A and B are shown apart, each in its own frame.
Chain A
Amino acid sequence: MIISSSKPFEEILDNLDDSGKIFVLGCGVCATKLQVGGEPEVEAMCRRLRNAGKEVIGGGVAKAACSIKSKESLLENDPAIEKADTIIVMSCGSGLSVVSSLVDVPVHPATNTDSLGGYSEGHVRKDLCAMCGSCIADFFGGVCPTARCPKGLMNGPCGGAMEGKCEVDPDRDCAWELIYLRLKEIGRLDLLENIFEPKEYDG
C-alpha cells in the first residue's frame, strides 16, 4: 500500500489564500487504512477549515482516489464537488493526480506521500519496495536493499552501520543486517556470494 502522512494543518492553510468554496475528498483505500484520509479525517478537516474561517461546501470519501473512472463517477460520489472552487485531496499523490486530471479547479494535497510499504500486525511498515521493476527481492530473503538501504547497495553493507543500525538513522535497522538474519534463518546464506550488476534505469 501507499504510505502517506498528514501535512501540518498550517501548511494546508497556507495554500488556501483565495480558495473560495472548498470540497474535501478522502480516499477509501490506503489513506483510510492509515487514518489520514478516511471518513473521520475528512470530517475533522472540514471542521478545522471552517474554524479557520474557510467556506467548506462538502466532504466525502472516494472508493479509491487513484482509480476514479471519469468526472461523472466523481460527481456520483457527491455532486457538490462541481460547485467547488478548490478541492483538497486526502490521498496519496497518485490519487491527487487522478482527481486533478478530472476537474478544472485547483487541487491541493492534505497529505505527503512517503513510500510504498505495508500495514501489518498493527504497524505501518515504510519503504518496503522502491518499485524498480524486475524484482530480485528473493535473493535478499525478501528484504529489498534497493528500498530499505538508504544507499540502495546491492552487494553488501557500507561501512557505516553500527551495531546493526543504519548510518543514516540510528533507530533504523541496517537493511543488510536484516538480509543476513533472514537468509540465515532460511538457510540461504549462499545467496550472499552473488555479485549483482548495476540496475538498469529505463525511465
Chain B
Amino acid sequence: MSLKTNATYYPAMPSAFKEKLLSDEFIVTSEISPPKGVDASSAFEEAGLVRDYVDAFNVTDNQRAVMRMSPLAMGHLLKEQGLDIIMQFTCRDRNRLALQSDLLGAYAMGMENVCIMSGDYPTKGDNPGAKPVYDLDSVQLLGAMNRLEEGFDIAGNPLESVPSFTKGAVCNTEPDQPLQLMKLEKKARMGIDFFQTQAVYDIGHFETFMESISHIEVPVLAGLIPLKSAHMARFMNEKIPGIRVDDELIARMESSTDPAEEGLLICAEQIRELKKVCRGIHLMPIGHYRHITDLFEMAGLHEKN
C-alpha cells in the first residue's frame, strides 16, 4: 500500500484579500457560520449563492458563544471550494498554546487572513457553564501574531517555519466613546491590516467615526446587517452594544408593506453611501443569503471578475 498525502503547504502564496486591501477596490466580505453539526452543505450552499460578489468569507468562531463546528475545519472545507477565507479567532475558548497552534494550523492550510476578537462571554451562549479562557486579550493576541511572524512563539521559542498573516480586528463605531477609540488605537499600533466594524445604520454618525480615526491608516470595512423588521431594529438598539438604528429607519420599516424588502433597500442605499466613506463592507446576513444577490445588484456591486 502506498502512502499518499494530499497535504499542501502554501509558503509563498500571496493573499488575494491582502492585495485587495492594498488596492483601491471596494471590498466585500460576508459572514459564514459553521453548522451546529457535522454536515457543512448548508454553509457551502450559502457561500455558493454569493461567492461571485464576495472577496472573502469570514468564518465565525462559536459566534455569540454558541458551540458550532470548528472554524478551522469549516474554513478548510470552504477553502477547498476555492473561496478566500478570513478566519475569526476569539480569545474566549483557547489559551495561548491553543491560539498559536491553531493560527499555525490555519496558515499551513492556506488561511492567512485572520480577524480576532475577545469573544462574547460563555453565559451569552448555549453552553453557559463553560469555563472562559481569555488568557490573551485581542491586543495581546495581535502581539503574539507579530511574534510568530518574527519567527518566535509568544514565549520566545524559535519556530521552524514562519507565517505571514493578514491581520484584522473588530471595532465599534462610537466616536464619543473614548475607551473604544483607545482600544482601536492600540490594535492599530500592533500593526493590523484591516478593521471590521459592528453593524452600521447611521451613515452620518459613521462618517464622524471615520473622521475621528482619520489618523489611523487602516482600511475599514463597515459592518452591515440587513433589517428584516422594525422589531429587529428595536431589539438591536436595546440589546446589541454598539448598534444604533435611528427612528427614521425604524419608521420606514414600520410603514412598509414588505419590511424584508425595505430592509434590503435601506441596506443597498447604505452601501452606496459607504462606498464614498470607507474601504469596503462586511455583510452579516444572518440567514438572509437568498436575497443577498438582489441586495448586491441593488447596491451596484456587481460580480467580481
Contact = CB atoms under 8 A, between A and B. Distances in A.
A133 B62 CA distance: 32
Given A177-B179, A198-B154, A153 B137 contact: yes
Contacts of B241: 159-162, 167
B180 A154 contact: no
A196 B241 CA distance: 25
Given A168-B121, A197-B140, A198-B136, A156 B182 contact: yes
B135 A159 contact: no
Most buried by A among B92, B137, B140: B137
A18 B154 CA distance: 52
Given A161-B241, A180-B179, A156 B139 contact: yes
29 contacts: A151-B134, A151-B137, A152-B134, A153-B137, A154-B140, A155-B186, A156-B139, A156-B186, A157-B179, A157-B183, A159-B172, A159-B180, A159-B241, A159-B242, A160-B118, A160-B121, A162-B241, A167-B120, A167-B121, A167-B241, A168-B121, A177-B179, A180-B178, A180-B179, A192-B182, A193-B182, A195-B189, A197-B140, A198-B140
Interface of A: 150-162, 167-168, 176-177, 180, 192-193, 195-198, 201
DSSP class of A's interface residues: helix, strand, loop or mixed?
loop
Ranked nearest first, the 8 interchain pairs of A and B with the lowest CB-CB distance are A156-B183, A155-B139, A158-B118, A151-B134, A153-B137, A198-B140, A162-B241, A168-B121
Contacts of A196: 140
Contacts of B283: none
A197 B140 CA distance: 6
Most buried by A among B117, B123, B182, B198: B182
A198 B96 CA distance: 9
B118 A159 contact: yes
A160 B189 contact: no
Contact of A195 (B117, B139, B154): B139
A176 B179 contact: yes
A142 to B, nearest CB: 17
A150 B154 contact: no
Contacts of B96: 198
Contacts of A198: 96, 135-136, 140, 143-144, 154
Contacts of A154: 137, 140
A181 to B, nearest CB: 10
Nearest to A180: B179
Nearest to B118: A158
A174 to B, nearest CB: 9
A167 B96 CA distance: 23
A150 B120 contact: no
A116 B121 CA distance: 22
Contact of A159 (B139, B154, B170): B170
